[in-house]
Structure 1
Amino acid sequence: MADRLKGKHYRKALAPLTAELVCMARWAKATGARIVVLFEGRDTAGKGGAIRAVRDRLDPRQCRTVALSKPSEDELTQWYFQRYVPHLPGAGEIVLFDRSWYNRAGVERVMGYASEEQVAHFLRQVPEFEKLLVDDGILLFKYWLATDQARQEERLKERLEDPLKRWKLSPVDLAAREQYDAYTDAREEMLRATHTRHAPWTLVDFNDQKRGRLTLIRDLLDRLPDTNVAPAPIAFPDLDREPKVESYAVLAPIAPYDPDGQSSD
């Protein structure tokens, strides 16, 4: 496996892509395009980091992330796709799904939250559901972030040992460690049933998350139409007076955190 991409090289490569993402958002607003991007993959694959890399410099009122919690009792009685439809974009909006309706074909199936009959019904319906979205003009992109078991184990241990990441480690994540092959089988069946001409899947290697983000963003941008829309001119005349200087109380800086409880002064 190639050496992992260094942070400084990653940031240098990401900068021009970020500028293109800003252009994409400007194009979407100007044309009324509706963009949906699904981020799927195993636990620890890097979905959150990839989403942050896409949306970091975009207007959060235009580009939003959807990460739904487990369904409520009422939602369990509804048509499966019903809880996702209200989150679809309007004109000029970009929606990034941190996991999506494909939960049914993955975690719900493997962990026993959905029956085999429900999964089979989902796999029959999802190509039709996505065709309705695409036929209505939504630009739909589906990404599977691929990572092998050794890398997954490494990242799970990192979450366990880092108090700032411990919240990411759920009981479901721990139980899923024993179901690696079952998740692989579920993914392969899902891909066979839902990789369609109108809504194809794109698999991206995320064993190196930095390289994976760059690859995903480059692919997303390359699959969009020409997004070169010039920024609208903004008049910015000089003030007719000197800028005011305000006086205000300044708080004393706080000493750096010391995990041993000792002041670092």
Structure 2
Amino acid sequence: MSKSEQFFSRGWCAFESDPAIRSWVEFALPAARVTLSDPAQKEWTRYQGTWFAGVNALPNDACGRLPHGPPLAGEAIDFIASELGLPVFNWDQAQVSICYPGYPQPMQGETDGQHNFRKNRDAAHVDGLRGIGQPRRRFLEEGHAFVLGIPMVEASPDASPFVIWEGSHEIMRRAFMSVLENLPPADWIKVDLTDVYQQARKQCFDECRRVVIHARPGETYLAHRLSLHGVAPWGEAASAGPDGRMICYFRPELADREGWLSLP
């Protein structure tokens, strides 16, 4: 099965070690480390210090480049341009996601149900759906093009890896289309997707294979924008260096919101 066939049928694919990605990681790693001590990023330390969420914390430009460093390049980037039909777009500032031993610990303000979902279901979610209010209701606030994971340091396969439910992207697409397809894309942000999303998520748990994805620095993996995915708890025998399990995630937004459902 080709990478393209795997991506569109399963909702993800991985890329082997790439010199261009290795060069980017080597240059970006010091900047990623600095985000931990940046007072402006303090809010992202959560779960009793076992996770630094680091959303949009990396100071890269719209080419994915750090000051004086190389742009994002290589096979994965070429795949995005050719197979996803996105030759030109602006990269978002990357999330610097760092997990440590013990993740996830209970967090203040989190219910037992929320904590158990994070621990037992990997906090499975579709990116771009934001929870608003109490109880939380889900709305489409960001229409991402894809999720690109770039490991920054070595960590064992059970050190809070990325997990994905294969084929979930098509289940989610059908669910969201059932309530959005006859509405103007500009109005999608107003639609409460909570119920249809939760029903589709349960279907994914019941019908889709949960896959753990582990990669090393220089390697990358790409997840479909509609895929159900999450982060597994830190394994009992997991190991990593002083940086913990550090992965940079890119999730640029689509210029055309309609593409969130209409693109392959």
State the TM-score bracket (shorter-chain normalisation): under 0.3
Q: Which has the higher strand share?
A: 2
Higher Rg = 1
